[in-house]
Chains A and B, each alone.
Chain A
Amino acid sequence: MPLWNPPTDRVSPDERVGRRLFDEPMLVGARDQRSYAGLLLRHFEETRDDKFSVDRLGATGVNRKVVAYLRPRASAAGEKHRPPKAFNGWAVLTVRKLTAPPTPEISQLPVVASPIDGEDIVEIDRNPYHAHIVLPRDIKRLHLALCLRHLFTTYGTVQKREEDRQNLHRTLGKVWSWLAKLARKK
Protein backbone atom coordinates (compact mmCIF):
# COMPACT_ATOMS: atom_id res chain seq x y z
CA MET A 1 0.00 0.00 0.00
CA PRO A 2 1.62 3.29 -1.06
CA LEU A 3 1.79 6.22 1.34
CA TRP A 4 -1.43 8.15 0.86
CA ASN A 5 -1.10 11.63 -0.54
CA PRO A 6 -4.18 13.48 0.71
CA PRO A 7 -5.75 16.31 -1.30
CA THR A 8 -5.37 19.65 0.45
CA ASP A 9 -8.34 21.40 -1.13
CA ARG A 10 -11.00 19.19 0.43
CA VAL A 11 -11.59 16.44 2.97
CA SER A 12 -13.75 13.61 1.67
CA PRO A 13 -16.67 12.37 3.81
CA ASP A 14 -15.27 8.81 3.54
CA GLU A 15 -11.90 9.73 5.05
CA ARG A 16 -10.94 8.63 8.54
CA VAL A 17 -9.71 11.27 10.97
CA GLY A 18 -8.04 10.55 14.28
CA ARG A 19 -7.80 12.53 17.49
CA ARG A 20 -4.52 11.88 19.28
CA LEU A 21 -4.88 10.27 22.69
CA PHE A 22 -2.22 11.21 25.21
CA ASP A 23 -1.83 10.07 28.80
CA GLU A 24 -3.78 12.43 31.01
CA PRO A 25 -2.91 13.19 34.65
CA MET A 26 -5.10 11.76 37.39
CA LEU A 27 -6.18 13.61 40.50
CA VAL A 28 -3.61 13.20 43.28
CA GLY A 29 -6.26 12.19 45.79
CA ALA A 30 -7.95 9.70 43.46
CA ARG A 31 -5.12 7.33 42.57
CA ASP A 32 -6.86 4.48 44.37
CA GLN A 33 -9.92 4.54 42.12
CA ARG A 34 -10.66 1.87 39.55
CA SER A 35 -9.55 2.61 36.00
CA TYR A 36 -11.99 3.94 33.41
CA ALA A 37 -12.22 2.20 30.05
CA GLY A 38 -13.90 5.04 28.15
CA LEU A 39 -12.45 8.10 26.46
CA LEU A 40 -11.90 11.01 28.82
CA LEU A 41 -13.44 14.39 28.17
CA ARG A 42 -9.93 15.88 28.39
CA HIS A 43 -9.06 14.25 25.06
CA PHE A 44 -11.75 16.32 23.37
CA GLU A 45 -11.17 19.70 24.95
CA GLU A 46 -9.30 22.00 22.62
CA THR A 47 -7.37 24.41 24.78
CA ARG A 48 -5.51 26.43 22.18
CA ASP A 49 -8.05 27.94 19.77
CA ASP A 50 -11.32 27.16 17.99
CA LYS A 51 -9.66 24.61 15.72
CA PHE A 52 -9.92 21.03 16.94
CA SER A 53 -6.83 19.23 15.65
CA VAL A 54 -7.08 15.81 14.01
CA ASP A 55 -4.92 13.64 11.73
CA ARG A 56 -6.21 12.35 8.39
CA LEU A 57 -5.53 8.64 8.73
CA GLY A 58 -6.74 7.34 5.37
CA ALA A 59 -8.99 7.85 2.34
CA THR A 60 -11.51 5.11 3.14
CA GLY A 61 -10.00 3.37 6.15
CA VAL A 62 -7.00 3.66 8.46
CA ASN A 63 -3.89 3.55 6.28
CA ARG A 64 -1.12 1.66 8.09
CA LYS A 65 1.63 3.59 6.35
CA VAL A 66 0.10 6.91 7.37
CA VAL A 67 -0.12 5.62 10.93
CA ALA A 68 3.54 4.55 10.81
CA TYR A 69 4.47 8.01 9.46
CA LEU A 70 2.49 9.88 12.11
CA ARG A 71 3.31 7.77 15.18
CA PRO A 72 6.80 9.18 15.87
CA ARG A 73 5.47 12.69 15.25
CA ALA A 74 2.66 12.17 17.73
CA SER A 75 5.09 10.74 20.30
CA ALA A 76 7.38 13.74 19.79
CA ALA A 77 4.40 16.08 20.28
CA GLY A 78 3.66 14.31 23.58
CA GLU A 79 7.24 14.89 24.71
CA LYS A 80 6.73 18.64 24.33
CA HIS A 81 4.11 18.71 27.09
CA ARG A 82 5.28 19.64 30.56
CA PRO A 83 5.38 17.07 32.08
CA PRO A 84 5.70 14.88 28.95
CA LYS A 85 2.69 12.78 27.99
CA ALA A 86 2.86 9.32 26.43
CA PHE A 87 1.06 8.93 23.11
CA ASN A 88 -1.45 6.05 23.21
CA GLY A 89 -3.03 6.06 19.75
CA TRP A 90 -5.98 7.73 18.05
CA ALA A 91 -9.74 7.91 18.46
CA VAL A 92 -10.84 7.38 14.85
CA LEU A 93 -14.01 8.55 13.12
CA THR A 94 -15.35 8.77 9.56
CA VAL A 95 -15.53 12.40 8.43
CA ARG A 96 -19.19 11.98 7.43
CA LYS A 97 -20.13 11.52 11.10
CA LEU A 98 -18.78 15.01 11.75
CA THR A 99 -20.07 16.85 8.69
CA ALA A 100 -23.51 15.20 8.94
CA PRO A 101 -23.80 13.94 12.53
CA PRO A 102 -26.29 11.11 13.08
CA THR A 103 -27.26 12.66 16.41
CA PRO A 104 -29.74 15.48 15.70
CA GLU A 105 -28.67 17.46 18.79
CA ILE A 106 -25.17 17.95 17.32
CA SER A 107 -24.67 20.62 14.66
CA GLN A 108 -22.53 20.07 11.56
CA LEU A 109 -18.81 20.18 12.23
CA PRO A 110 -16.85 20.95 9.04
CA VAL A 111 -13.42 19.37 8.63
CA VAL A 112 -10.73 21.43 6.89
CA ALA A 113 -7.34 20.20 5.64
CA SER A 114 -4.56 22.20 7.27
CA PRO A 115 -1.20 20.55 6.55
CA ILE A 116 1.68 21.67 8.76
CA ASP A 117 4.51 22.45 6.41
CA GLY A 118 7.02 25.17 5.62
CA GLU A 119 10.73 25.84 5.48
CA ASP A 120 10.92 26.90 9.11
CA ILE A 121 9.28 23.72 10.39
CA VAL A 122 11.54 20.88 11.47
CA GLU A 123 10.95 17.43 9.96
CA ILE A 124 9.45 15.88 13.11
CA ASP A 125 6.84 18.66 13.27
CA ARG A 126 5.80 18.41 9.61
CA ASN A 127 2.38 16.86 9.11
CA PRO A 128 0.78 16.75 5.65
CA TYR A 129 -2.09 14.83 7.23
CA HIS A 130 -3.10 17.52 9.69
CA ALA A 131 -6.68 18.79 9.56
CA HIS A 132 -8.95 20.59 11.94
CA ILE A 133 -12.60 20.67 12.84
CA VAL A 134 -13.94 24.21 12.91
CA LEU A 135 -15.59 24.70 16.30
CA PRO A 136 -18.59 27.06 16.34
CA ARG A 137 -17.73 30.10 18.47
CA ASP A 138 -21.23 30.56 19.83
CA ILE A 139 -21.29 27.14 21.53
CA LYS A 140 -19.68 26.48 24.90
CA ARG A 141 -16.42 24.54 24.85
CA LEU A 142 -17.60 21.94 27.35
CA HIS A 143 -20.67 21.23 25.25
CA LEU A 144 -18.51 20.84 22.13
CA ALA A 145 -16.16 18.48 23.96
CA LEU A 146 -19.17 16.39 25.01
CA CYS A 147 -20.48 16.39 21.40
CA LEU A 148 -17.14 15.31 19.96
CA ARG A 149 -16.56 12.62 22.55
CA HIS A 150 -20.08 11.30 21.99
CA LEU A 151 -19.47 11.00 18.22
CA PHE A 152 -16.03 9.40 18.57
CA THR A 153 -17.24 7.01 21.28
CA THR A 154 -20.50 6.00 19.65
CA TYR A 155 -19.53 5.84 15.98
CA GLY A 156 -15.73 5.58 16.05
CA THR A 157 -12.97 3.20 17.01
CA VAL A 158 -9.69 3.45 18.87
CA GLN A 159 -6.47 2.86 16.92
CA LYS A 160 -3.97 1.81 19.54
CA ARG A 161 -0.24 2.09 19.15
CA GLU A 162 1.26 -0.51 16.83
CA GLU A 163 3.43 -1.80 19.65
CA ASP A 164 0.33 -2.63 21.70
CA ARG A 165 -1.11 -4.60 18.79
CA GLN A 166 2.17 -6.42 18.30
CA ASN A 167 2.27 -7.29 21.99
CA LEU A 168 -1.29 -8.57 21.77
CA HIS A 169 -0.40 -10.71 18.74
CA ARG A 170 2.63 -12.07 20.60
CA THR A 171 0.52 -12.93 23.65
CA LEU A 172 -2.15 -14.55 21.50
CA GLY A 173 0.56 -16.56 19.75
CA LYS A 174 1.89 -17.80 23.09
CA VAL A 175 -1.60 -18.75 24.28
CA TRP A 176 -2.22 -20.57 20.99
CA SER A 177 0.99 -22.60 21.20
CA TRP A 178 0.27 -23.43 24.86
CA LEU A 179 -3.21 -24.65 23.91
CA ALA A 180 -1.76 -26.71 21.03
CA LYS A 181 0.79 -28.29 23.42
CA LEU A 182 -1.98 -29.09 25.87
CA ALA A 183 -4.06 -30.73 23.13
CA ARG A 184 -1.08 -32.85 22.01
CA LYS A 185 -0.53 -34.10 25.58
CA LYS A 186 -4.16 -35.27 25.81
Chain B
Amino acid sequence: MPIATAEAAPPIRYVIPATYWGPPEVDVATILRQIQMWATISPMPSGNCTGESIRLPRPMVAGWLPAIELRIRGSIVPDGRDSENDGRWVAHDIAEAAVAFFEATSDLLPGEPFIYSSHSGDLVGEFEVGHGSMTIIVSRNFAIVFAAVEGTWTEETISLDAATLDGFRPELQRLTEKVRTGRHAALESTN
Protein backbone atom coordinates (compact mmCIF):
# COMPACT_ATOMS: atom_id res chain seq x y z
CA MET B 1 0.00 0.00 0.00
CA PRO B 2 1.54 3.36 -0.97
CA ILE B 3 2.15 5.71 1.92
CA ALA B 4 0.85 9.22 1.49
CA THR B 5 3.49 11.87 1.85
CA ALA B 6 3.17 15.58 2.44
CA GLU B 7 4.79 16.22 -0.93
CA ALA B 8 2.46 13.94 -2.87
CA ALA B 9 -0.77 14.73 -1.08
CA PRO B 10 -0.97 18.08 0.66
CA PRO B 11 -3.29 17.93 3.68
CA ILE B 12 -5.46 20.85 2.56
CA ARG B 13 -6.16 22.74 -0.65
CA TYR B 14 -7.51 26.18 -1.30
CA VAL B 15 -10.52 26.51 -3.55
CA ILE B 16 -11.16 30.02 -4.82
CA PRO B 17 -14.86 30.65 -5.39
CA ALA B 18 -15.79 31.63 -8.94
CA THR B 19 -17.40 34.81 -7.65
CA TYR B 20 -14.15 36.03 -6.16
CA TRP B 21 -12.81 39.11 -7.73
CA GLY B 22 -10.14 41.30 -6.38
CA PRO B 23 -8.23 44.30 -7.64
CA PRO B 24 -4.91 43.50 -9.25
CA GLU B 25 -2.19 43.19 -6.63
CA VAL B 26 1.47 43.27 -7.15
CA ASP B 27 2.47 42.25 -3.63
CA VAL B 28 2.57 38.39 -3.48
CA ALA B 29 2.11 38.32 0.29
CA THR B 30 -1.04 40.40 0.03
CA ILE B 31 -2.40 38.15 -2.73
CA LEU B 32 -1.81 35.06 -0.59
CA ARG B 33 -3.44 36.75 2.38
CA GLN B 34 -6.46 37.61 0.23
CA ILE B 35 -6.69 34.05 -1.10
CA GLN B 36 -6.58 32.61 2.42
CA MET B 37 -9.26 35.06 3.52
CA TRP B 38 -11.67 34.24 0.66
CA ALA B 39 -10.90 30.65 -0.14
CA THR B 40 -12.70 27.70 1.42
CA ILE B 41 -10.47 25.05 2.91
CA SER B 42 -11.43 21.45 2.20
CA PRO B 43 -9.64 18.34 3.40
CA MET B 44 -7.75 16.29 0.84
CA PRO B 45 -7.75 12.47 0.78
CA SER B 46 -4.60 12.50 2.86
CA GLY B 47 -6.71 13.68 5.80
CA ASN B 48 -6.27 16.47 8.28
CA CYS B 49 -2.67 15.66 8.99
CA THR B 50 0.30 17.85 9.41
CA GLY B 51 3.17 17.49 7.02
CA GLU B 52 5.18 15.64 9.66
CA SER B 53 2.63 13.12 10.75
CA ILE B 54 1.52 12.31 7.22
CA ARG B 55 4.81 10.54 6.66
CA LEU B 56 3.92 7.95 9.31
CA PRO B 57 1.88 4.92 8.25
CA ARG B 58 -1.56 5.40 9.80
CA PRO B 59 -3.61 2.44 11.02
CA MET B 60 -6.61 1.40 8.95
CA VAL B 61 -9.91 2.36 10.55
CA ALA B 62 -12.92 0.13 11.05
CA GLY B 63 -16.06 0.75 9.00
CA TRP B 64 -18.07 1.46 12.14
CA LEU B 65 -15.78 4.26 13.34
CA PRO B 66 -17.68 7.21 11.76
CA ALA B 67 -20.97 6.01 13.31
CA ILE B 68 -19.38 5.69 16.75
CA GLU B 69 -17.80 9.12 16.47
CA LEU B 70 -21.18 10.59 15.56
CA ARG B 71 -22.84 8.86 18.52
CA ILE B 72 -20.18 10.04 20.96
CA ARG B 73 -20.13 13.63 19.69
CA GLY B 74 -23.93 13.64 19.59
CA SER B 75 -23.94 12.79 23.30
CA ILE B 76 -21.78 15.65 24.55
CA VAL B 77 -23.53 17.35 27.42
CA PRO B 78 -24.99 20.75 26.43
CA ASP B 79 -23.58 23.80 28.20
CA GLY B 80 -25.13 24.40 31.60
CA ARG B 81 -26.78 20.99 31.88
CA ASP B 82 -24.00 19.11 33.66
CA SER B 83 -26.05 18.80 36.84
CA GLU B 84 -28.93 17.14 34.95
CA ASN B 85 -26.70 14.44 33.50
CA ASP B 86 -28.10 11.08 34.60
CA GLY B 87 -26.13 9.04 32.09
CA ARG B 88 -27.58 10.41 28.87
CA TRP B 89 -24.56 12.57 28.11
CA VAL B 90 -20.79 12.51 28.34
CA ALA B 91 -18.48 15.40 29.17
CA HIS B 92 -16.73 17.08 26.23
CA ASP B 93 -13.21 16.05 27.28
CA ILE B 94 -14.22 12.42 27.80
CA ALA B 95 -15.96 12.36 24.42
CA GLU B 96 -12.81 13.67 22.73
CA ALA B 97 -10.65 11.17 24.62
CA ALA B 98 -12.96 8.35 23.54
CA VAL B 99 -12.93 9.45 19.89
CA ALA B 100 -9.12 9.62 19.97
CA PHE B 101 -8.97 6.15 21.53
CA PHE B 102 -11.27 4.58 18.94
CA GLU B 103 -9.46 6.36 16.08
CA ALA B 104 -6.18 4.88 17.26
CA THR B 105 -7.45 1.35 17.86
CA SER B 106 -10.63 0.67 15.85
CA ASP B 107 -8.84 -1.63 13.40
CA LEU B 108 -7.84 -3.94 16.25
CA LEU B 109 -11.10 -4.06 18.20
CA PRO B 110 -13.48 -7.03 17.89
CA GLY B 111 -16.31 -5.06 16.25
CA GLU B 112 -18.67 -2.17 16.75
CA PRO B 113 -18.99 -1.33 20.44
CA PHE B 114 -22.21 -0.71 22.33
CA ILE B 115 -21.54 2.56 24.14
CA TYR B 116 -22.95 4.16 27.28
CA SER B 117 -21.85 6.31 30.18
CA SER B 118 -20.74 4.93 33.53
CA HIS B 119 -22.11 6.42 36.75
CA SER B 120 -18.80 8.21 37.18
CA GLY B 121 -19.11 9.81 33.74
CA ASP B 122 -16.64 7.65 31.81
CA LEU B 123 -17.50 6.29 28.37
CA VAL B 124 -17.97 2.52 28.31
CA GLY B 125 -17.74 0.41 25.16
CA GLU B 126 -18.97 -3.18 25.24
CA PHE B 127 -18.02 -5.79 22.65
CA GLU B 128 -19.95 -9.02 22.28
CA VAL B 129 -17.57 -11.66 21.02
CA GLY B 130 -17.90 -15.40 20.46
CA HIS B 131 -15.64 -16.72 23.21
CA GLY B 132 -15.71 -13.91 25.70
CA SER B 133 -16.34 -10.24 26.18
CA MET B 134 -14.34 -7.07 26.02
CA THR B 135 -15.09 -3.82 27.82
CA ILE B 136 -13.30 -0.54 27.28
CA ILE B 137 -13.71 2.30 29.73
CA VAL B 138 -12.38 5.65 28.58
CA SER B 139 -11.74 8.25 31.24
CA ARG B 140 -10.17 11.69 30.89
CA ASN B 141 -6.54 10.57 30.95
CA PHE B 142 -6.62 6.80 30.81
CA ALA B 143 -8.51 3.84 29.43
CA ILE B 144 -9.17 0.45 30.98
CA VAL B 145 -9.34 -2.52 28.64
CA PHE B 146 -10.98 -5.54 30.21
CA ALA B 147 -11.18 -8.87 28.44
CA ALA B 148 -12.83 -11.98 29.89
CA VAL B 149 -12.55 -15.39 28.24
CA GLU B 150 -14.13 -18.46 29.83
CA GLY B 151 -13.50 -17.52 33.44
CA THR B 152 -10.09 -15.92 32.97
CA TRP B 153 -9.66 -12.23 32.66
CA THR B 154 -7.18 -9.55 31.75
CA GLU B 155 -7.34 -5.93 32.76
CA GLU B 156 -4.99 -3.28 31.40
CA THR B 157 -4.95 0.40 32.30
CA ILE B 158 -3.26 2.59 29.72
CA SER B 159 -2.50 6.26 29.37
CA LEU B 160 -4.22 8.02 26.47
CA ASP B 161 -1.20 9.74 24.96
CA ALA B 162 -0.43 8.82 21.36
CA ALA B 163 2.88 7.05 22.09
CA THR B 164 1.35 4.80 24.77
CA LEU B 165 -1.63 3.97 22.56
CA ASP B 166 0.71 3.11 19.72
CA GLY B 167 2.77 0.88 22.00
CA PHE B 168 -0.39 -0.81 23.28
CA ARG B 169 -1.54 -1.94 19.83
CA PRO B 170 0.18 -5.39 19.88
CA GLU B 171 -1.29 -6.15 23.32
CA LEU B 172 -4.76 -5.05 22.17
CA GLN B 173 -4.44 -7.26 19.11
CA ARG B 174 -3.55 -10.19 21.39
CA LEU B 175 -6.56 -9.53 23.66
CA THR B 176 -8.95 -9.23 20.72
CA GLU B 177 -7.67 -12.48 19.24
CA LYS B 178 -8.13 -14.13 22.62
CA VAL B 179 -11.78 -13.12 22.98
CA ARG B 180 -12.51 -13.93 19.34
CA THR B 181 -11.04 -17.40 19.29
CA GLY B 182 -10.58 -18.33 22.94
CA ARG B 183 -6.87 -18.71 22.29
CA HIS B 184 -3.84 -16.48 22.53
CA ALA B 185 -2.77 -14.93 19.27
CA ALA B 186 0.35 -16.35 17.68
CA LEU B 187 3.38 -14.29 18.48
CA GLU B 188 4.77 -12.40 15.55
CA SER B 189 8.32 -13.30 14.66
CA THR B 190 10.82 -10.51 14.97
CA ASN B 191 14.12 -10.21 13.19
Contacts and interface: CB of A to CB of B under 8 A. Distances in A.
Say whether A and B bind each other.
Answer: yes
Interface of A: 24-30, 32-38, 40-42, 45, 47, 82-83, 102-103, 105, 141-143, 145-146, 150, 153-154
Contacts of A30: 71-72, 74-75, 115-116
B71 A142 contact: no
Contacts of A102: 151
Contacts of B144: 142-143, 146
A42 B86 contact: no
B133 A38 contact: yes
B179 interface: no
Contacts of B153: 103, 105, 150
Contact of A41 (B71, B86, B88, B118): B118
10 contacts: A26-B116, A29-B70, A30-B71, A33-B112, A33-B114, A36-B128, A42-B116, A45-B120, A82-B86, A103-B151
Contacts of B71: 27, 29-30, 32-33
Contacts of A33: 71, 112, 114-115
Interface of B: 70-76, 86-90, 112, 114-120, 122, 124, 126, 128, 133, 135, 137, 144, 146, 148, 151-153, 155
A153 B75 CA distance: 28
A26 B119 contact: no
B88 A26 contact: yes
B66 to A, nearest CB: 13
B129 to A, nearest CB: 11
8 closest Cβ pairs, A-B complex = A29-B74, A29-B75, A27-B75, A36-B114, A30-B71, A25-B87, A45-B119, A29-B71
A27 B120 contact: no
Given A29-B76, A30-B72, A42-B119, 5 more contacts: A27-B74, A28-B75, A33-B112, A105-B153, A153-B148
Contacts, number: 93
B90 A27 contact: yes
Contacts of B128: 36-38
A50 to B, nearest CB: 14
Contacts of A143: 144, 155
Given A28-B88, A29-B71, A32-B71, A41 B114 contact: no
A100 to B, nearest CB: 14
B74 A28 contact: yes
B124 to A, nearest CB: 5
Contacts of B76: 29
